[in-house]
Every structure is written in C-alpha cells, then in structure tokens.
Structure 1
C-alpha cells in the first residue's frame, strides 16, 4: 500500500500491475487530508476585473476544466454531474469516486504560529512515526519524541 495523493495518479499510468485506491481506515474516526489548488487575487490589485475573469475561467470554463481533467491535474471544483462523470471515467483508478468521498471526512492541515516551519515540523513527526511503523520504537515513544521535536521547533 502506498499513502499518496491524487497528484500521483499520472505516475502509475503505465504501471504493469492493476492498481486502485481506497480511503484509509479510521480507528475511531475517519480523517482525510484535504489539499486544494486555490486561486486568489489581492484585494488591493489594480486589475481586479482581469483577476476575476482569470479565476472564473480557470475554475469554471469548460475548456479549462476539461484540460485539467485530461491532465489529471486535480479534482474539478464544479457542481456539474457531466463534468464529474468525465473525471470519474478517467481511469485508472477504477474507484475514482472515492476521491470525493474523502471530502465527507476531511481535515485541513494544521496552520500554526510558524507556517514557515511546516516542512521541518512534518519531517520531524514523520521521522518518529516511521520508527513506530517500522518497529524500532513503540507508538507512545514515537509520539512523545515527535511532540518534543515539534515543541523545540516552535520554541515552546
């Protein structure tokens, strides 16, 4: 099993094995990360009309949406059954609807007081969780060590 995101689907396009996707099981509660490709414009932009037209084009114009589907870029951000059906029919994976089912149990990545440390924080936690996963530490020790590293990085 590989834990990854939809941005990896293209990497497996020529795989010689049959593969599919599933939601991660939850022990007491399901929780799935949610990442979005956001388009924004500064409220102070001198080109508000142009920015709005671009954002509207990239997110709802059928040509742009279809191009994003063809490229496997991301889940279409539209409420259009025909568009979503086109997305779901693009296989593999066969169980592509699971991508949007994850939205029923989504959690947002934490945003803390030092977002510039995000990569260091996730690296520190991941390193400790890998120790538990690979059996070189028990889960509680790994969590305790991860907490210490996070507190050090945040200056607590």
Structure 2
C-alpha cells in the first residue's frame, strides 16, 4: 500500500488538477474545490484461489493504516465489498469504498503513511514482504473517483 497509496494520491490529484474536482468544470488555472468529501472506489482483481490470502493480508497489513487515518479524520468511512454473483465485466473480487474528508486529506495521507507504518509495524521487513505478497496476488487494480449526481 505504501507505494500504491502514494501513487494513487499523485495520480488522482494530477487528474483533478487537469479536469477539475472529480470532473467538475472549473476556470483555467483555478484550483479544485477542497472542502467537499471525496469518494473513491478501489477495485482488486485477484489471482485464482488467492482471495482468502489476499483478504487476510489486507486486514493485517493495510486496513490498520486506514483505520489510523480514520482516527485522524482523513478518511470518513471505509467499506469493503465482494461480489455476490458472477459478472463478466469489469471483473473484480474486492471493492473498497472510501470517503475521504476532502482533497487535502488525500495529500496528507501520502505524507502520514510512512510514519503510521513505522508506528504500527516495527518489523518493517515483514510488513514489506507481506505487502509484496498481497500485490503478487493482485492481477489488476484500479481506482474510480466518483462525482455525486444530485437527483433533486
């Protein structure tokens, strides 16, 4: 997650800078609105037979980092889902939906993550090995940044 959260934050913030806050139109050169919550869906397609091991590693090595970010107010909520029924496309095994406080929380998370990892996982080598294994089990990963559509 260390590499992935940082890369996701940079990618997402780069997209926001280029296209506006989750797709909102903005004046050229203006900054995206920072105060609104940001909802991101993180998708994971896993190697066949790897779902149980992946989830155990996620719960052990990644979820505690996110829980700490929730305690700090960077993340407002986190929920994980698995498909109840088979669907062909897009193929995914787990989806994690996080609501971030705002865009600046994503930036802060990238800076806070190394310190949180050091505090939660004194054996950095073991944490790194297990995270490497979790990513070996991940065949595909992508993020969707959502923009709410007002219905009324």
TM-score (norm 2): 0.26
Which structure has the highest helix share of the two?
1
User: Which structure is higher in RCO with an 8 Å CA cutoff and minimum separation 6?
Assistant: 2
TM-score (norm 1): 0.26
